[in-house]
Amino acid sequence: MDENTLKHDIDTLSRFLARRDLCGLSPAALAGAGFSRVDVLFVFGCEVIPVIECAAQAASQGLCNTVVFSGGIGHSTQNLVHTARELFGEECGGLPEADIMARIAIRHYGMDPSIALCEGKSTNSGENARFSLALLKERGISLKSAMLMQDPFMQLRSHFTLLKYLRPGVPLLSYAPFIPYAGMPCGSENGLWSKERFREFLLREIPRLRDDENGYGPKGAGFMEHVDIPSEVEQSYARICRAYGE
């Protein structure tokens, strides 16, 4: 495969995975979707610092009433701990991802601590959703509208996972903090994954999103709602797999 085709395929797959339901992160963009603000912004645990920055930006613009950071200690935690130390001088070893994200949002991006909640026991997207909703119920916090932010590569899957557990009729908006692209700067010095992790995400998400016996949808593990995968995305994914020898 020539380099331009591979770049095109990586960008096609990235745009699909990094779901955005808003044209931007602003009151005007939210109003264009029919909302003055949402009740709750869910921020699911990951190792990508722009997710935290984006959540703080949303809060500072009054786009949400409450921010729930969700994530325990899992496969991304050590990467997040390393990045927190490298970029902010924060020593976060032993803390769950939710606490680390909230600490960075409050100390370094100016988030109001009074609107932040932490759910620090979940270890997968399904638990992120269930445990966060349980926390809101416990605190008596209204949930009539919601927004979700997550690692761009996991944004789509997390959206359809949270959708499975939300009360029917509660609208959910997704906003990936950025759209990954071929050749973008990687590494903890940029608050991002390593190049190896970038490649890992490209290769792993489509099989999980497929609604078949091996996927996470209703016909498989049942972790999430059904997702339609466009044929051009499947074709791009197939070429990426061949290019990477998978």
Rounded mean pLDDT of 150-156?
98
Tell me what pLDDT residue 245 has.
80
Which one, of 81, 80, 83, lies nearest residue 46 by Cα?
80
Tokens standing for 169?
A: 């009729």
Which residue is it, tokens 């009433």?
A: 65
Dihedral sign for Cα atoms in the order 26, 173, 162, 51: negative
Which one, of 49, 45, 46, lies nearest residue 71 by Cα?
45
Tell me what pLDDT residue 178 has.
97
Q: Which residues contact 31 (CB under 8 A, 6 or more apart)?
A: none
CATH superfamily of 19-191: HUPs (3.40.50.620)
Rounded mean pLDDT of 82-100?
97
Question: What are 174-233's pLDDT values in tens digits?
Answer: 999 999 999 999 999 999 999 999 999 999 999 999 999 999 999 999 999 999 999 999
pTM above 0.85, yes or no: yes
